[in-house]
Structure 1
Amino acid sequence: MVRILGAQRKWVRQKEVGYVVLHCKSAPTANFGDLPLNDEEIVQSVVAGVTPSYILESKLNDTHRAAKLRRDSLKVITGRSIDGLPLDGFDYDSILGQCCEMPVGFVQLPVGIAGPLVLDSMMSSRFARLQGIQCSLAGRNLYMRFSCSTGDAMGMNMVSKGVQNVLDYLQSDFPDMEVVSISGNFCSDKKPAAVNWIEGRGKSVVCEAIIKEEVVKKVLKTNVQALVELNTVKNLAGSAIAGALGGFNAHASNIVTAVFIATGQDPAQNVESSHCITMMEAVNDGKDLHVSVTMPSIEVGTVGGGTQLASQSACLDLLGVKGANPESPGSNARLLATIIAGAVLAGELSLMSALAAGQLVKSHMKYNRSNRDIAKAAS
């Protein structure tokens, strides 16, 4: 967001913009001296505040030992145990300087598979190019929304660097312009916003399928008319009554969140990535069901960030979208977005069928309730 300070305004004249790459050295860290020799003394030093916890990796040159001593210090400071949080079995070198600061362990997540899911109709685009700029005025404040292709990366950092260069250039040409912030919430990141729903953000995907009448009856245990009516009453009218923004679906965020965590995406971007409208209609003389999901803002990448973690990288490899695609930059990220949309469609069809057949509560009680936890509570 930029603010025009001068009384007069002028249009920006068109000219070629040169980009400058800035190389910044790391800021020097304070010298806290040598650490004590044994682990017990190091823990005492951290607890006493003499040794900052964040320097353990650099001082010890052993990331696993640093994580262990940090969690031991945490136990002393808080008086609470985190024995249920695993320590061993993780490559802490792989997250040094990225993904996680001051680690004390890792969270275990069960990973299952669903499929096969047959997809088609892929497209391609170029890498790291400015696609357009959308501007909006509010008083003397100018909000600019940059749209860029970012290859197989989700691209937030990439775009931010480019935008900063543009703002620096504009500020040199218009000295009466004040840059209030590189982000003015017109993006709009990690927040439900109509601009993402209308204009799109990340990858915009439409996934559709035709389900034969026989499958609807024998497998889904319902009928086409019931599904169409339920979708209208629940996902469309019901969501409108609730004042939903991008939430015209049954449970898209369940699937999006699961895939995001498993493949190293930013879980917070589930907010806009789960924007989805589910449509159902009878086709082929009313016998079969046409179902579709439209998701305008799926924010995913197959390189950078959490995609580099071993477990998440393995999941991406399983899906056939690990890393960057050298032949068609961006196609791996687009395929991942398509896979997510396909999985959402399957999830929508499953839940809506359970609701239409009146089987939701019964299914949850049978398949999704832990008898072990109930037994513990009873005892």
Structure 2
Amino acid sequence: MLTKERQQSGDWLATLTCRSEQETKRCYWQLKLCRPREEKAEAAVALPKRHLYSWSEDDRQKRLAYLRQHTGHRLEQIAATRLQAEKLKKNLEGFIGSVEIPVGIAGPLLIKGQFAAGTFYAPMATSEGALVASMSRGASAITQSGGATAQVIGQRMMRVPRFEFRSVRDCRTFCAWAEDYLTEIRAVVGLHSRYARLTQLTPRVIGNAVHLAFVYHTADAAGQNMTTTCTWQACQWILAHLPPSLAPQRYILESNLSSDKKTSWGSFAQGRGTQVIAEATLSEAACRAQLRIAPAQLVEAFHGFCEGSVAAGMTGLNINTANAIAAMFTALGQDIACSHESSLSQLQMRLTPEGNVYCSITLPALIIGTVGGGTNLPDQAECLAMLGCQGENGSQRLAEIIAAFCLALDISTLSALASDEFAKSHETLGRQRGKGHTGKGISDPLIHCFHHARYTPAWGSRPPVEIAPARWQGNQSSILTTLSPNTTILPIGIFAYRLQRDDGTHAEVIVKNKPQTSAIASLMASLAAGCTPTILEHLERWLPYSEFSHAREREMAIVTQTDPAFTRHMPTLYGTYEDGKHSVIIEELLQHEPMLNSISRGLRWQPAHINAALKGITEVHARWYREPDALQTRFQHIVIPDEQQIAGMVPLWQEIADFSHRTYPALFNTSMLHHWLSCAETSAAQWREISSLPRTLVHNDFSTRNIALRQENQRLCCWDWELATVHVPQRDLAELLTYTLTETATKQEVMRHVEFHRQQLANQLGTPVHAQEWYRGYCLALRDYGLRRLSFYLMLHHVNPQPWFPPILKTWARLVELTQHRF
């Protein structure tokens, strides 16, 4: 007999082996009656044998309950799925939930293909940092160079059954027989699929076996399942109709000669799935502006990759096609297991006689489809629809899009490696060590600023005793700061901190390290080059006379003034740090002020909000009204172009208008083009008139991105003064109205705000302000704002689309239209 302890411990197998047969039987039945309760409980909740093949929601919950009990994990995230169990019968078995993968959008990329023609954005399902950004950079370089050409050159899906015979002679007899009955075999295939078309039946004799390759065209389906069914049916017909003397000894449906889901030289050389080629010629301007590399340097790096690829014995040559394939396959419902063979590719690069770079990529084995499989899942179907890849020829269209984006990624990655930016970009994006808005991961030199800053009375003279990152939603953003390259030791950006004094009190602040003039110039040149070389050429002549020159020095001088008319309407300044190379501002972190970050929060400014902002900025306007010379003496970095310089900018504005109208005809329509060109042609004369009107210090970036209202009294709070300049006060009025009104604004609505601003200025000055002259100044300022600021936003929107910009442009055109009959 087994002891009770040994029964409960489960150590009964060894005991049984030491007993006689009769005693063993007796012990077995004792064990069966005395099994631990836990095993009975397990049997009670055991899944049914066919649990994999049940697709109801109840069955899914049973599987989850079973797993929770036996693994000890709740699986709450996996279980929280939007997918419906009943609709997944063709996709998987044993359904319990789904895993969410982040999807980024890469592009825009201009493609001129046989089936894909237009500008495309690629959905990328990936968790690898820097991948989407790199692909987008390559797409920008291609688009700036005129786009990519793509074309499908073939499609073939294979299934290769193996027939084993007694001898090689029987093999050859079978090959001849199969050739004679090709028509009948095709007819059998046609009975079992409307889409699969048998194009070839190619035998290959290996020893005493025939590997009979069935080669199909599968329309818009990837075709693995389709060809499996058709080939099996055809083989059944062959086996039934072969002469008895030719009956094979063995038969198997697939011999692995088709290389299904495997990389092989055969797939590379002969093609499998869809064969597609994408090509582009990168201009020298695009190489230098977008890829930050010379054409010859890019091609030289390519030759180095060829050397390494040959030495490694690689099949084909590419930089990282697999990244693009895997991410797009996941987002678009393709068979991810096929990403291995689909990544087979051949990259080509060479210099042209003109000094440009010809690039092409050939994908010989792209296994894709736009019907069946995962393409029916709701998220993946939505991504396919976004690309226009549903319906007839959807598969060919998708192939051309994928090939073009693979080319974009390879171009960008190779450029990053050649210019030694590859690791740096992964540090910045993949490991989140670059610009940020939370204060996390900031380098020690930035902390150093707090200990050597010059503090204002608002903080006190002593440095903080404790410095910690602060929570922040990034609501005091700056386009120039965010997009400009970092060319300094300290990180460029806007960062949030919580500072504590030695008395225990604390303050939440933002630290603003603005870019140098050279970094802003590089940004502007990059935006211009992303449009056309001609725009870049004009821009380089214009930049020294723009408000973008010496912007950070100007802001430092302005925000450190102590005039109450100014300080009442800006965030509290706590301190500054300057060392000759850096200009760092430490000021109040705004969190809960009304209308803060209204664009991203979708808040609409009401008339009372607009007038509150105008009332506040009028105090600043009144302080320096009619004192342009004193302003230039006080703030030496203010840049005021003269009439001749304004006239020299006209070709730039005309070129931007022409490019925008051609590229975005729905946004920059014919009516807007007319308004714009009219403003450009008369800009010099208008500037002469502006210079004759009373001018003052204006914010010159007075948009809802840079202003809010104080919670307690609705007083204006305005930041980011780096673009401040000398202008008519209506310049700030014109910009604010384009952000707060809509394209359906009425004349009465506009005039109420124009009049309110005028009356507020008159009240501040204590003297009348002429109404007709004031309105004339508003009309002139509106036109000048469009040319000199919206031109920058048009370039920015093309290279880096800004969702807030199109409504502003349309409102500007509406406001200009409302002034036409009185201008």
- Please indicate the TM-score interval, normalised by the length of the shorter structure: 0.7 to 0.9
Give the whole-Å Cα distance in 2 for the aligned partners of 1:143 and 1:128: 20
Paired with 2:84 and 2:227, the residues of 1 have a C-alpha distance of 30
What corresponds to 1:105 in structure 2? 97
Residue in 1 that maps onto 2:289: 218
- What do residues 326-354 of structure 1 show as CA deviations (whole Å, max 9, x unaligned)? xxxxx111111111101100000110110
2:209 matched to 1:138?
A: no
1:359 maps to what in 2? 421
The 1:130/1:218 distance shift into structure 2, 3 A limit, reads: same
Answering whether residue 308 of structure 2 is matched by residue 238 of structure 1, we say yes
Match of 2:345 among 258, 276, 283: 276
User: Distance between the aligned counterparts of 1:86 and 1:48, measured in 2?
Assistant: 19
Deviations 1:67-89 (A, max 9, x none): 22311210111223323324243
User: Would the aligned equivalents of 1:135 and 1:142 in 2 still touch at CA under 8 Å?
Assistant: yes
Kindly state the Cα deviation for residue 196 of structure 1 after the two structures are TM-superposed.
0.4
Q: Are the counterparts in 1 of residues 45 and 66 from structure 2 also a CA contact under 8 Å?
A: no
Question: 1:119 pairs with 112, 130, 141, which one?
Answer: 112
Contact 1:53 1:102 in 2 (8 A): no
CA contact (8 A) 1:87 1:104 kept: no
- Structure 2 counterpart of 1:341: 403
Number of residues of Structure 1 aligned to a counterpart in Structure 2? 317
Instruction: Give distance in 2, aligned partners of 1:50 and 1:344.
Output: 45
Cα displacement (A) at 1:296: 0.4
Give 2:258's aligned residue: 187
The superposition leaves residues 224-282 of structure 1 with CA deviations (integer Å, 9 ceiling, x where unpaired) of 11111111211x22111111123x11100000001111111111111110001111000
Separation in structure 2 between the aligned mates of residue 343 and residue 217 of structure 1, nearest angstrom: 20
Quick one: distance in 1 between partners of 2:351 and 2:51? 60
- AA at the equivalent of 1:239: S
- Paired AA for residue 285 in structure 2: E
How has the CA–CA distance of structure 1 residues 184 and 367 changed in structure 2, closer, same or farther, with 3 Å as cutoff? same
Q: Of the candidates 384, 389, 396, which is equivalent to residue 316 of structure 1?
A: 384
For 1:87 and 1:47, the matched residues in 2 are separated by: 26
- The one of the two structures with greater contact order (alpha-carbon pairs below 8 A, sep at least 6) is 1
Structure 1: gaps of 5 or more residues: 1-43, 326-330
Structure 1 residues 336-375: Cα deviation after superposition (integer angstroms, max 9, x where no partner): 1111101100000110110111111111000111469x98
Give the whole-Å Cα distance in 2 for the aligned partners of 1:163 and 1:83: 43
Which amino acid is 1:152 matched to? D
Structure 1 residue 103, shift from structure 2 partner: 1.2
Q: Is the 8 A contact 2:47 2:66 kept in 1?
A: no
The alignment status of 1:65 with 2:65, answered yes or no, reads no
- How is 1:48-87 mapped onto 2 (pairs within 5 angstroms)? 48-49=45-46, 51-52=48-49, 54=51, 57=54, 63-87=56-80
Compute the displacement of 1:290 (Å).
0.5
Instruction: State the SS of the aligned residue for 2:105.
Output: coil
Question: With structure 2 as the length reference, what TM-score do the two structures score?
Answer: 0.37
Alpha-carbon offset, residue 48 of structure 1? 3.8
Alpha carbons 2:333, 2:381 under 8 Å: kept: yes
CA distance in 1, matches of 2:243, 2:236: 10
**Distance (Å, rounded) in 2 between the aligned partners of 1:277 and 1:291:** 11
- Counterparts of residues 158-169 of structure 1 (less than 5 Å): 158-169=226-237
The normalised TM-score by structure 1 is: 0.78
Cα deviation 1:3-51 (Å, max 9, x = unaligned)? xxxxxxxxxxxxxxxxxxxxxxxxxxxxxxxxxxxxxxxxx67764263
Q: Which moved more, 1:113-122 or 1:270-279?
A: 113-122
More helix by share: 2
Note closer, same or farther for the CA distance 1:364–1:308 as it changes in structure 2 (3 Å cut): same
Structure-2 separation of matches of 1:53 and 1:360: 50
**1:320-331 matched pairs, under 5 angstroms:** 320-322=388-390, 324-325=391-392, 331=393
Give the direction of change, closer, same or farther, for the CA distance of 1:338–1:49 in structure 2 (3 Å limit): same
In 1, the alpha carbon distance for the partners of 2:279 and 2:228 equals 34
Q: Separation in 2 of the partners of 1:100 and 1:238?
A: 41
Q: How has the CA–CA distance of structure 1 residues 164 and 55 changed in structure 2, closer, same or farther, with 3 Å as cutoff? A: closer
- Are the equivalent residues in 2 in contact too, given 1:46–1:52 (CA < 8 A)? no
- The percent identity for this pair of structures is 30
**Deviation per CA, 1:92-129, whole angstroms, max 9, x where unpaired?**
2221x221211111010111222233231246999421
Q: Aligned residue for 1:92?
A: 85
SS of 2:401's equivalent?
A: helix
Distance 2:45 2:79 in 1: 25
Alpha-carbon distance between aligned partners in 1 of 2:281 and 2:44, rounded to the nearest angstrom:
62
Note the C-alpha offset of 1:141: 1.1
Q: Which has the larger radius of gyration?
A: 2
The unaligned stretches of length 5 or more in structure 2 are: 1-40, 116-151, 156-193, 442-823
**How big is the alpha-carbon RMSD for the aligned residues of Structure 1 and Structure 2?**
2.3
Aligned to 1:254: 323
